Amino acid sequence: MTTVLGIDVGGSGSRVLLRTAAGERRILTGERISVTSAGSSLTELVATLLGSAAAVWPDDFVCVRGIGVGATGLGTLVARPQDVVSSIREVVTHLQQGSKSSNPEPPEPPAVAIAIDAVTAHLGALGGEAGAICALGTGAIAFGSNSDDVWRRVDGWGHLLGDRGSGAWIGMRALSVAILAHDGVDDDGTAILAAASQRYGDPSMWPAQLYTRNDRAGVLAEFVPDLLALAERGDRAAREIIVAAGVSAARSTIAALGTDLPHVVAGTGALLRARTLLRESFEQTLTGSLPDASLRDPVGDPIDGAVMLAQGAASGEQAARDGYVWTSADERDSAS
């Protein structure tokens, strides 16, 4: 076993997990990703996380031989994912060479593999088994694969075009209902308006809070606990939004399974881990269309998938897959 580093980057935050050659696991947390007119902050955020890992674990960091990154928006908001691979190798080389560790300097930079977050979620949840996952957090994406010839992504389009059933999707719909109540158009959202006003202040200030934020998806998702609480208390408008989220996420998952994968499904992300009305709606929709579907609790989470990706990179077994996985082996091959 070699020392590897896994990084999980999402709309609610980021994590770094270092697994030593002895099997010890150490973890750090970081900021959530942001999106500006220039694109995703992924490259800068990963560099910051690597710097933190090198500072906190200098002796272990210098021994890292594989790095795996799973990131939201990688396939849609990053123009050249292969450039992210190059940047990671440059940053790690600089950090390892400048380390004050007592361990000897590694002979060459570690191997790197980066993937869309659905891939690392799938690896972590199903441990490499064929089937589909639905990752439901700030964003939403479903992914079906057998790690061979089937790679099927559904959704993951961001909160303006998709992310159906996600925290941002729920938050945006809830605030839309609240605005209707505020404007006197439909009083069904009166309770949602009250809860949203308590969290975000006067509705007249909501556009300034949301439209100007680079992390607006995360801000929208922060309203989900309030809406879930309203739904549990029986508010009809809140329940309708939550049920619709579960239905939408399940439909994406069914599409990800297609007709060529076993009906094995794992739900990942905060919104599917909890036993709520959303989870109930998701399960009912899934089994209503696929009665033989096996809905499992994930064996691990996306950070575990990122570590598996890192291990595959370190061993040279992790292959690239256009649109899904990019590796430093691609750079070596193109240079030879």
Mean pLDDT of all residues in 148-170: 92
Question: What digits encode the pLDDT tens for the residues 171-185?
Answer: 999 999 999 999 999
pLDDT at position 160, please? 87
Provide CB contacts within 8 A for 98, sequence distance 6+.
none
pLDDT at position 100, please? 63
Among 227, 70, 81, CA closest to 135 = 70
Strand order in the sheet with 325-327: 25-30, 14-19, 4-9, 66-71, 111-116, 325-327
Q: Is the pLDDT of residue 333 over 50?
A: no
Contact assessment for residue 147 and residue 126, using Cβ atoms and an 8 Å cutoff: no
Q: Is the pLDDT of residue 190 over 50?
A: yes
Among 271, 270, 200, 273, CA closest to 242 = 271
Q: Is 132-296 in the same CATH topology as 4-127+301-335?
A: yes
Q: Is the pLDDT of residue 77 over 50?
A: yes
Contact assessment for residue 50 and residue 89, using Cβ atoms and an 8 Å cutoff: no
Q: Is the pLDDT of residue 335 over 50?
A: no
Provide CB contacts within 8 A for 240, sequence distance 6+.
none
Task: Quote the percentage of the chain above a pLDDT of 90.
Answer: 63
Question: What digits encode the pLDDT tens for the residues 7-50?
Answer: 999 877 899 999 999 999 999 998 887 777 666 788 888 999 99
Task: Quote the percentage of the chain above a pLDDT of 70.
Answer: 94
Mean pLDDT of all residues in 306-320: 93
Quick one: fold of 4-127+301-335? Nucleotidyltransferase; domain 5 (3.30.420)
Query: What is the rounded distance in angstroms from the CA atom of residue 294 to the CA atom of residue 218?
Result: 31
The CATH architecture annotation of domain 132-296 reads 2-Layer Sandwich (3.30)
Mean pLDDT, the chain, rounded, equals 89
pLDDT at position 241, please? 97
Per the document, the length of the chain is 336
Q: Where are the domains of the chain?
A: 4-127+301-335, 132-296
Model confidence band, residue 294 (pLDDT cutoffs 50, 70, 90):
confident
